[in-house]
Structure 1
Amino acid sequence: MSEFTIRFPNEQKKRFVQPISAGALLAYMPNIDKTVYGMKVNNELVALSKTIDIRASVEPVLKGTQEGSKIYRRTLCLLLAAASQALYPEPRLLVGHSLGYSYYYTLEGNNTEKIDFKKIEEKMRELVEADIPIQTRWLSYEEAIEMFQNSNQPDTYKLLSYISKPKILINKLGDFHDLFFQPVMDRTGEVKVFELMPYGEGFLLRFPSTAEPDKLPVFDDIPQLFTVYKEYKQWGKLVGVSAVGQLNTIIEKRKTKDYVEIIETMQNNKLAKIAGQIEEKKTVKLVLIAGPSSSGKTTTAKKLSMQLRVLGFDPHIISLDDFYLGSAKTPIGEDGKPDYECLEAIDVPLINEILLKLFNGEMVELPSYNFKTGEREYRGKTLQCNERSIVIMEGIHGLNDKTTAEIDPNLKFKIYLSALTQLNLDDHNRIPTSDNRLLRRIVRDAQFRSTAASKTIEMWENVRSGEAKYIFPYQGNADAMFNTALDYELSVLKIYAEPLLRTVKPTDPSYSEASRLLMFLNNFLSISPSFVPGQSILREFIGDSDFSYR
């Protein structure tokens, strides 16, 4: 065996002549004062059980970090699946969407009303107390297929049938096996902070936040969002596509065109229903649209405008981005950089002044923000409203009442957007809405802003931080919620995103996330963008939209 060198975070190097596990390297990092959940090896995220036998730079993944939290939550999900299987082997455990700091689960099958969630939680705590090793091992493709064919995980089996690899990586916890997607902790003993809470027709698996990893946060219910998810999930079951393996079957059987048309029609119908709600209220003069990054605010505003025209209204779209104060007046954030996402970065008095004049029938000149110069400009764009006019204003602060504080609440209708896919990867692995949005943004930034995937990934944590401060707290203010996710979109985004993600090299700090996204996209068969309608929300990100964006 040839020698290899490991470089540690303090820049010290050590030679090794035998392979060594990532966990064993912790002995050479004595100054770590937090629990270690995993390791980055040449910027690749690995489990502590991973064997290292090449030259590498290593960095521990700690408790209280974003990547550490993801490892903790994956391990917690594995623990839940193992406990549920041990106590109730017949009902099928299915993961759903996230709800605050929790995941929604259901158990499906006969006699599920007799299931005691507290017993499952007690079993999980027994597994934690026993500090059982979690193994990661390879199986041949045939072994893996046979294992999951005979398990109570049909979506896992179906997904596996589209992963054409000679060997498959799985996680093993005692007698329980599950498909491996990303690293988990190497033992159960540190997964101590969690709770199962009955909710809806199932229960919530609650976990701590990244900022406070030693306690559960106060539960903040969002029933309107849960209703939207539940409705989409029921629809997915109705058409027989609620997991990626089923989507792949649609693609394989060349039924893509019909499926895409059904998905788009359903989304358009939902938007038409919201337009109907606006009409029914009768007093609406201002529609406010807000949502996190890459949720499709701009296209949704344009599509809603068309629906309102059908109802005889005269809609006009205004972007909150055009009310930025400008680079020189933008507040400085805690990191010493301009904070373009805070409310104070936009000209709130001007927004209210213009809206009041419009609703009074006056002619106004609208500003435009020049992102190249960082200055607000006036280009002769004017607007005057009539009695059938409705202003559609889209932007991240749309649902914050401070943005339009001078406007009569009876004149407002607020819409919150979320890219809430109802698809799962398989029985026990969900698709985070943030992955949908990040892939949309990577593709859009490359297409229209010449931004490399590594740069978009690097900025993403700050984007998410801004969303947590300025968007998510106000979603409960919405009069309606609109789901912009399209269940087929990841199969289209895959075509654009994969070559972009492959440009991220192992020496780049963004490599870990790029590698994860590539592994994630590997589960999807591709769909040609030619199937995507010109007015689809997806066109905002991949291009060739029937709409003009500037």
Structure 2
Amino acid sequence: MNISIYCTNTDVYKTYPLGITLEEIAEDQNIKIESDLLGAMVNNRCKSLDYTVVKPKTITFFGYDHPEGRRMYAKSLSFMLWVASLRCFPDHTLSIRNSVSGGYYCKLDNIDTLPINYHEILKGEMERLVLEAIPFHRHLYPIEQCSKILSKEKLYAKKRLFEEYGNLYAPLNEFNGHHNFFYNHLVPNSSHLKSFDIELYSDGFILRLPTKNNHGELEPIKNQQKLFQTIRYHKNWANNLNARNLSQLNDCKYRNWDRDLIKIAEAFHEKEIARIADKIVQSRDSIKMVLIAGPSSSGKTTFSKRLGIQLSVLGCTPKQISLDDFFVNRVETPLDEKGEYDFEAFEAIDKAFLNHQLDTLFSGEEITKHRFDFTLGERVKTLEKMKLEAHDILIIEGIHALNPQLVSDIEQKHIFKIFISALTPISLDEHNYIPSTDNRLIRRIVRDSKFRNYNASETIKRWPSVRNGEEKHIFPYQEEADIMFNSALIYELSVLKPYLVYRLQSVKEREPEYAEAKRLLNFISYFRSYNASEIPPTSILREFLGGSSFEY
């Protein structure tokens, strides 16, 4: 029996025997990918090259320059690192903690008993594995067998998670005789993983990854100590709550402790916001304004309002300004490389008008506030007036708030800078952390659907442009902050799950965004749903779910 295959790379329809693999099709059609052939989209779903085709399909082969290619590379490299650690240091447990400084922060336990050059030993072993060109395989096992395999590999968090999942069969990846699972398809074999490095970092090391645009060039090591310490602080807090991974988070639901966990997480946020307010007031004689910046869906607006309340408790009167109201008129908005409006660009902000209003305020005079009408695409006057009195403090929030060009005429000693992002404190398991970008994208899908009349496909389609803007205009300034605030709530993905699933399920298979929708659906399927009824109306999560007591 034969099946018809359409390959978009060659624009060719061709008949193949039932059961042919993607790798065989790529070889037959002489597919050449400049950045190294790693996988394929099959009917807009990511597949590894050993995938067997049994029905008519539309296939697009990709390499490292594709988002899924980069994800496959990073997950495969993580698997190879784990196997190398088992070879070199079998008595030590590897954990892959989080993304930082152009790579993954990793740690081996009992580091004091390791040789000083342990990172070089690990790197050397990984280089040997690359030369051996060992294949990565994916197998389905009965859940009982899967549990036995994971127990043998001492992957207990993953074992519990798989047992809770409730399926008869579960997938495992196999490499060099060892089994693990990285919630993703992997590259064909280890020879594709030539570009990496290992460098000591804090009390662990960084597994360095290639740059987004060049898989032969590594991301430079960046100074992100403030970010690193913030992530570590919150991961330690989650660990103290016995909720450091998804299995433990799900267990809170089984033990009917989910409501308590929501209350604890919200109290923790309130305490952190109060601590920031205390720090601002300690320097009240010199500070004129607070700048709050962060990437999309980090909860800047709700945070700024809650910070204002805490400042009021301490005797200050907060006056708030959103940079969203200082967009240039739409016809003046800069265009990106695709010729579309680039709302993430710094030039999309009317810096001159903002500074004119600030000069007026700091001179003791009154201003008329403006509001940007997103329907008209223009800035319009409101009836609201603003004037700064003796005990007032100005709070400005927006994605560009930490850009030094924004208020360059104001002395730094008069400014307190806050960076906010959703830095997920839990991990899926020992070797799979949860990217903050996924956390924020999930928030945005729910919010856009509920409040902005965008469906999931539209939000996913815009996300790469949003991410590019963040890389250019937000993250370069995050270490300039006086303090960082983590807006992620330890329970939030469990609460967002039911709001997310049906929105993602509405994405059609024919849409290019289908692959990302399926990936997020697979990811969120491991979470047990929490009820949103315990979430207070002042929670940052209410900015995305609705039911907030704040006006936006």
TM-score computed with the length of structure 1 as normaliser:
0.98
Q: How far apart are the structure 2 equivalents of 1:204 and 1:7?
A: 41
**Counterpart in 2 of 1:469?**
472
Superposition map of 1:171-250 within 5 A: 171-250=173-252
Equivalent residue in structure 2 for 1:135, among 134, 137, 154: 137
Q: Does 1:321 align with 2:324?
A: yes
Say which is worse superposed, 15-24 or 203-212, in terms of deviation: 15-24
**Counterpart in 2 of 1:354?**
357
TM-score computed with the length of structure 2 as normaliser:
0.97
Q: Does 1:93 align with 2:72?
A: no
Superposition map of 1:114-133 within 5 A: 114=115, 116-133=118-135
Superposition map of 1:496-515 within 5 A: 496-515=499-518
Q: How many residues get paired? A: 548
Q: How far apart are the structure 1 equivalents of 2:58 and 2:340?
A: 30
* Structure 1 contact 356–407 (Cα < 8 Å) conserved: no
Q: Does 1:70 align with 2:65?
A: no
**Counterpart in 2 of 1:364?**
367
TM-aligned CA deviation for residue 400 of structure 1: 0.4
Q: How far apart are the structure 2 equivalents of 1:417 and 1:110?
A: 32
Deviations 1:5-56 (A, max 9, x none): 1001133111123211111111243252421111100000011111111110
TM-aligned CA deviation for residue 152 of structure 1: 2.3
Deviations 1:307-346 (A, max 9, x none): 1001110001110010111111112222211222111111
**Counterpart in 1 of 2:529?**
526
Q: How far apart are the structure 2 equivalents of 1:100 and 1:327?
A: 36
TM-aligned CA deviation for residue 303 of structure 1: 0.7
- Give the letter for the 1:430 counterpart: Y
Q: Does 1:39 align with 2:37?
A: no
- Give the letter for the 2:2 counterpart: E
**Counterpart in 1 of 2:267?**
265
TM-aligned CA deviation for residue 272 of structure 1: 1.0
Q: Does 1:338 align with 2:341?
A: yes
Aligned-partner SS, 1:425: strand
* Structure 1 contact 92–153 (Cα < 8 Å) conserved: no
**Counterpart in 2 of 1:22?**
22
Say which is worse superposed, 299-308 or 217-226, in terms of deviation: 217-226
**Counterpart in 2 of 1:3?**
2
Q: How far apart are the structure 1 equivalents of 2:105 and 2:267?
A: 27
* Structure 1 contact 352–405 (Cα < 8 Å) conserved: no
Aligned-partner SS, 1:128: helix
Equivalent residue in structure 2 for 1:546, among 542, 545, 549: 549
Q: How far apart are the structure 2 equivalents of 1:378 and 1:546?
A: 25
Say which is worse superposed, 299-308 or 10-19, in terms of deviation: 10-19
- Give the letter for the 1:254 counterpart: N
What is the percent sequence identity of the aligned residues? 35
Q: How far apart are the structure 2 equivalents of 1:168 and 1:446?
A: 32
TM-aligned CA deviation for residue 154 of structure 1: 2.1
Q: How far apart are the structure 2 equivalents of 1:118 and 1:531?
A: 49
Q: How far apart are the structure 2 equivalents of 1:174 and 1:66?
A: 26
Say which is worse superposed, 277-286 or 47-56, in terms of deviation: 277-286
TM-aligned CA deviation for residue 89 of structure 1: 2.0
Deviations 1:61-91 (A, max 9, x none): 2122222111111111011011111222222
- Give the letter for the 1:78 counterpart: F
Q: How far apart are the structure 2 equivalents of 1:341 and 1:29?
A: 40
Aligned-partner SS, 1:221: coil
* Structure 2 contact 319–395 (Cα < 8 Å) conserved: yes
Say which is worse superposed, 216-225 or 515-524, in terms of deviation: 216-225
Q: How far apart are the structure 2 equivalents of 1:31 and 1:79?
A: 26
Aligned-partner SS, 2:385: strand
TM-aligned CA deviation for residue 110 of structure 1: 7.8
TM-aligned CA deviation for residue 147 of structure 1: 1.5
- Give the letter for the 1:471 counterpart: I
TM-aligned CA deviation for residue 546 of structure 1: 1.4
Q: How far apart are the structure 2 equivalents of 1:90 and 1:523?
A: 30
Aligned-partner SS, 1:105: strand
Equivalent residue in structure 2 for 1:161, among 156, 160, 163: 163
Aligned-partner SS, 1:322: helix
Q: How far apart are the structure 2 equivalents of 1:530 and 1:109?
A: 42
Superposition map of 1:411-422 within 5 A: 411-422=414-425
Q: Does 1:448 align with 2:447?
A: no
RMSD: 1.3
Deviations 1:84-110 (A, max 9, x none): 112222222111111132011111258
TM-aligned CA deviation for residue 477 of structure 1: 1.1
Superposition map of 1:380-459 within 5 A: 380-459=383-462
* Structure 1 contact 73–207 (Cα < 8 Å) conserved: yes
Q: How far apart are the structure 2 equivalents of 1:510 and 1:340?
A: 21
* Structure 2 contact 143–163 (Cα < 8 Å) conserved: no
* Structure 1 contact 47–183 (Cα < 8 Å) conserved: yes
TM-aligned CA deviation for residue 355 of structure 1: 1.1
Aligned-partner SS, 1:162: helix
Aligned-partner SS, 1:442: helix
* Structure 1 contact 169–180 (Cα < 8 Å) conserved: no
Q: How far apart are the structure 2 equivalents of 1:112 and 1:296?
A: 42
